Structure 1
Amino acid sequence: MKPTLVLVDDEERILRSLAMLFRPHYSLFTTVDAREALDYVRNHPTHVIVSDQRMPAMRGADLLKAVKDISPNTMRLLLTGYSELEAIVASVNEGEVFRFINKPWDAAELKQTVNHAAEIALNLFSAEPAVRPPVATLTETGSFVAPQPGEGILVIDDDAEVYKAVQEIVGPAQPVHWASSLEQAFALLAEREIGVVISELFVRREAIALALKLLKAQHPEVVTIVMTPFQDTTVLIGLINQGQVYRFLPKPIRRGPLGMNIASALRHHRALKSAPRLREAHAVETLRQPEDSVMATRVMGFLGRLRNRNFASSRA
């Protein structure tokens, strides 16, 4: 059976170019109308959707959010010619996209990415019935319920006020750990069971985006929220594609949204932990060549010790 691929762009010329890449191997539905794409997904099993961001009737991020709600096993890719901060943040926080793709695209890379997404979706669709919804993480009054094993929260930030704010939001039910350096972060990861990481991108003037990418590649069940005033779109796109960051949140902290996103991240962690097949939907793009080989060596050393701890605990 050919996987079904939906292509959405308000420019006919771009739709034709995309269709030429995929027609022999996919059952295609192409449209310039986001609402028509949404109707199609409602009524047909759809394995992959590729949508432009800038469209007159609906933003691509809004379309992909609606697709996620209707068909969560459909893999979602956002295509755009503009590296806009708003689009990047929305693609993660609202659409939970698999990949963010810049125009003009590399045809071979785009085909490889879509093929990978389709392979994952076929596995997810064949794994019915769907995974049970994870246990609630908030009570009716808005407080956090008692954690399950392996659900500690790690705050990586050299600002103690961020750690205190997370502690106050979560309350006594959830263990919250604090690292003000990368070394402390990986020491805590080796010692504690961590389900959610809340991290700055610069700690003690050291860029740690690469560390977050490598952590996700080795431990796909760990869910990362990036909270930063940093607005470099290239770095943020890399964190989507190579780090599968769960949320981007701005500073200064807004406690209401942060609390809701922590609860959502814990639910997502539980789902990933209970259904290993679901982790495929959050597979990271391979880092072809780490941008910082010294940092990569340090991080891989940390992760090696973390693997050894996990292996030892599994043998105990």
Structure 2
Amino acid sequence: MSRVLLVDDEPGVLRALRRVLSLVPCRFDGIDFQLQVDMAESPERALELVHSRAYDLVLSDYRMPGMDGVALLKAVREIQPDAARMILSGYADLNGVLAAINEAQIVRFLCKPWSDYELVAAMGQALAYRAVLLDNRRMADLLRLQSHKLTPQDYERRRLEEAEPGITQVRWAEDGSVLLDEDLARQLEDRP
């Protein structure tokens, strides 16, 4: 199952994208990708989701209030560098496309209105490419492990980080206790 995050400030666009992804099979090179789709109506909400879940692909609108798609996907890249990143935009200005490619390292820039086939095919291609990159990295890490160039602890840390981005990043207090994110601490306090 591949987890996908759709980000657009227009709820109608998000519903249309989700509908397309539920009706049109996402496949590439004979591989079918089952998609679990999450949606965010703002870049801020998208970043909250990216901090709490691992995503295989993030598809963002380019122009949104507060933060554009390039800035969002650049932040996503820092949090989850292995997530494929794509932009969907009704505005195709060259500077925006170049920034998306150079700064956010997107894999595709698609235009609105989109072709359902092109959208789903591009997503399938991005997910397949990501899978190949991750497999290559795992094989290289296994070789490094076998040749003692990578410790078993580092191998496991990389595996855990791939499965749950951020899990290995722990902040310690002077007394040896674990410091929680303030938002997470508030959520834990609010639980019954």
TM-score after normalising by structure 1: 0.39
Give the aligned partner of residue 243 of structure 1: none
Q: Partner letter of residue 126 of structure 2?
A: A
Give the aligned partner of residue 207 of structure 1: none
Residue pairs, 1:97-116, within 5 angstroms: 97-116=106-125
CA change 1:16–1:131 in 2 (3 A) is: farther
Q: Partner letter of residue 5 of structure 1?
A: V
Q: Secondary structure, in 3 states, of the residue corresponding to 1:50? A: strand
Unmatched segments (≥5 aa) in structure 2: 24-33, 142-192
Q: Partner letter of residue 18 of structure 1?
A: L
CA change 1:42–1:92 in 2 (3 A) is: same
Partner Cα distance (2:64, 2:54) in 1: 24
The alignment status of 1:60 with 2:59, answered yes or no, reads no
Q: Partner letter of residue 92 of structure 2?
A: S
Partner Cα distance (2:114, 2:37) in 1: 19
Residues 113-161 of structure 1: CA deviation (Å, up to 9, x unaligned): 10111122234445566979xxxxxxxxxxxxxxxxxxxxxxxxxxxxx
Higher relative contact order (CA 8 A, sep 6+): 2
Give the aligned partner of residue 19 of structure 1: 18
Residue pairs, 1:221-240, within 5 angstroms: none
Give the aligned partner of residue 119 of structure 1: 128
Question: Retained in 2: the 8 A contact 1:5–1:46?
Answer: yes
Give the root-mean-square deviation of aligned CA atoms: 2.1
Q: Partner letter of residue 72 of structure 2?
A: L
Which of 83, 87, 90 is the aligned partner of 2:99? 90
Give the aligned partner of residue 156 of structure 2: none
The alignment status of 1:45 with 2:54, answered yes or no, reads yes
CA change 1:112–1:33 in 2 (3 A) is: same
Q: Secondary structure, in 3 states, of the residue corresponding to 2:37? A: strand
The alignment status of 1:34 with 2:43, answered yes or no, reads yes
Partner Cα distance (2:118, 2:108) in 1: 12
Q: Post-superposition, which runs of at least 4 consecutive aligned residues in structure 1 deviate over 4 A?
A: 125-132
Q: Secondary structure, in 3 states, of the residue corresponding to 1:82? A: coil
Q: Partner letter of residue 28 of structure 1?
A: V
CA change 1:55–1:121 in 2 (3 A) is: same
Give the aligned partner of residue 10 of structure 1: 9
CA change 1:43–1:49 in 2 (3 A) is: same
**How many pairs were matched up?**
131
Question: Retained in 2: the 8 A contact 1:8–1:32?
Answer: yes
Question: Retained in 2: the 8 A contact 1:3–1:122?
Answer: no
Partner Cα distance (1:44, 1:16) in 2: 21
CA change 1:43–1:106 in 2 (3 A) is: same
Give the aligned partner of residue 173 of structure 2: none
Partner Cα distance (2:55, 2:44) in 1: 15
Q: Secondary structure, in 3 states, of the residue corresponding to 2:86? A: strand
Partner Cα distance (1:15, 1:103) in 2: 12
Superposition deviation, residue 86 in structure 1: 2.6
CA change 1:41–1:128 in 2 (3 A) is: farther
Residue pairs, 1:239-278, within 5 angstroms: none
